[in-house]
Chains A and B, each alone.
Chain A
Amino acid sequence: MNDRPLQEPTFLLLTALAEGPQHGYGIMTDVARMSEGRVKLRAGTLYAALDRVVAEGLVEADREEVVDGRLRRYYRLTPLGGDRLTAEVERLRLNAAVAAKRLKLRHRAMRGLA
């Protein structure tokens, strides 16, 4: 499996699909909500990212619907995509745990100095 760390937009895209299939606009709004408006995927960027993760086998098309005369294609995480996201979450969790531990030591040392 590719062991490169995921870039944040890709991480959020996979996270948006972790709960269940979503269509393009749903992913866009979900990513903005999860990142509290910090990451805003525009349509071009979203579909370029989807094109890449589909090519890598992390995401696949789920179903299509027509709503108000417009096509909506839903995407879902593949088992490989689920594993990749799990590995990334674990990597981030370990890094965060180490950082939190060291910060706690730093705060303790600073309190000792004060």
Chain B
Amino acid sequence: MTTAGGLEGSYRRLLRWYPSSYRTRHEEEILGVLMDAAQPGQRRPGARESVDLLWSALKIRIRMTLRGADSQAWQAALTLVGVLLPLLMVLLKLTEFLDRGAQYGFGTPADLLIGAYGEPGSYARSFQLNPHSVALTGNVGDALTAGPLPALILAVLVCLGWRRAATVFAAFVPLAFLGIALTNGYALLAGPRKDVTLYAYGLEALILLAAPGTARGWRTLRWQPSALLATATVAGGVAMNGGLWPLFNVPLAPPASALARIRLREQLASLPHGFVDQLFGIGAGGWGAWLLYRARWWPSSWRRW
């Protein structure tokens, strides 16, 4: 095969990643542009060029899927959700930290990093109870799923409008956890709180790919649509999790004893956390937990309980 023929074949293989209807219309045209832009004597596509083609193929696939469902309203909603979701994830971690910390103590920065909220000394204990490598991979897995740092990084990237970096990072978190789980023989389902977080990262990566408006970062948030979406989310979350009563399980009478005062403080600290749990559906009997663990379509070996 000639050099040009080899290069053309390589380009054609890359173009197979595009949707077939798109290829029917544009394959020969894009190929012409690629061959025109090729350096004399070039034998194979460059790395950047290949990544650019694969990335664009993915974007066009998602766009075409969304256009099928049509279109402008979806794009606007996705843009908004793409910015709100990481902020909600940070809120989830923050409220969980405050709730558990107020009850059981806040622990060391390392405990916080691995998401051991309200379990002081967990990080140090993991190295005492397990071989070093097991403790290390376990802690990295926990930091990815339960820890606040990935959510914070993602929220900052999204708010700055660094869409490509945010997309890569959002996809990296669940893939890295999957890699750790598969190489260490851990259960693929890590528990409601961690799993919902992992799915949220995956979902965010897809949303960022499909919604070009997220490149504007926090400026995407406008009062009216954001308030509407937040209200709909709260209403949906609350409706699917048995109403508001778990949030208001606080005694009305003033606390008589020191113990009652401590209990009241703990209950008040748990209010925001309970509220965010309602949104994500990961409270007891929540829709998220049901979807993840009770639904019949999961292979039985993946279910924990």
List residues of chain A with CB under 8 Å of any chain B CB: 4, 7, 23-25, 28, 42-48, 51-52, 55, 67, 70-73
Judge whether B231 is part of the interface by a CB distance below 8 angstroms: no
B28 and A71 contact, CB distance less than 8 A = yes
Contacts of A46 in B (CB 8 A): 33
Set A7, A55, A70: member contacting B28, Cβ < 8 A: A70
Please name the residue on chain B nearest to A68 by beta carbon: B32
A45 and B52 contact, CB distance less than 8 A = yes
Complex-state Cα separation, A4 to B212, whole angstroms: 11
Contacts of A23 in B (CB 8 A): 33
| 6 sampled A-B residue pairs with Cβ under 8 A | A44-B56, A48-B59, A52-B212, A71-B32, A73-B26, A73-B29
Contacts of A67 in B (CB 8 A): 32
Contacts A43-B30, A44-B57, A51-B60: A70 and B49 contacting too (C-beta < 8 A)? no
A70 and B60 contact, CB distance less than 8 A = no
Complex-state Cα separation, A7 to B215, whole angstroms: 9
B43-65 to A contact mask, C-beta < 8 Å, 1/0: 00000110011111101100100
B30 and A70 contact, CB distance less than 8 A = no
Complex-state Cα separation, A48 to B28, whole angstroms: 15
We find that the number of chain B residues with CB closer than 8 angstroms to chain A is 29
Complex-state Cα separation, A45 to B50, whole angstroms: 11
Set A28, A42, A71: member contacting B52, Cβ < 8 A: A42
Set B33, B52, B55, B71: member contacting A24, Cβ < 8 A: B33
Contacts of A7 in B (CB 8 A): 215
Contacts A46-B33, A71-B32, A72-B29: A51 and B215 contacting too (C-beta < 8 A)? no
Inter-chain contact total with CB atoms closer than 8 Å: 64
List residues of chain B with CB under 8 Å of any chain A CB: 22, 26, 28-37, 48-49, 52-57, 59-60, 63, 67, 71, 212-213, 215-216
A4 and B29 contact, CB distance less than 8 A = no
Contacts of A4 in B (CB 8 A): 213, 216
B29 and A28 contact, CB distance less than 8 A = no
Complex-state Cα separation, A4 to B76, whole angstroms: 12
B30 and A24 contact, CB distance less than 8 A = yes
Please name the residue on chain A nearest to B35 by beta carbon: A70
A42 and B48 contact, CB distance less than 8 A = yes
Complex-state Cα separation, A52 to B34, whole angstroms: 20
Contacts of B49 in A (CB 8 A): 42-44
Contacts of B26 in A (CB 8 A): 47, 73
Contacts of B213 in A (CB 8 A): 4
Set A43, A48, A73: member contacting B34, Cβ < 8 A: A43
Please name the residue on chain A nearest to B49 by beta carbon: A42
Candidate in B32, B33, B63 with the most chain A CB atoms within 10 angstroms: B33
Contacts of A42 in B (CB 8 A): 48-49, 52-53
Contacts of B55 in A (CB 8 A): 44
Candidate in A46, A48, A67, A73 with the most chain B CB atoms within 10 angstroms: A48
CB distance from A57 to the nearest CB of B (A): 11
A45 and B56 contact, CB distance less than 8 A = yes
Contacts of A24 in B (CB 8 A): 29-30, 32-33
Complex-state Cα separation, A67 to B33, whole angstroms: 12
Contacts of A51 in B (CB 8 A): 22, 60, 63
Complex-state Cα separation, A7 to B217, whole angstroms: 13
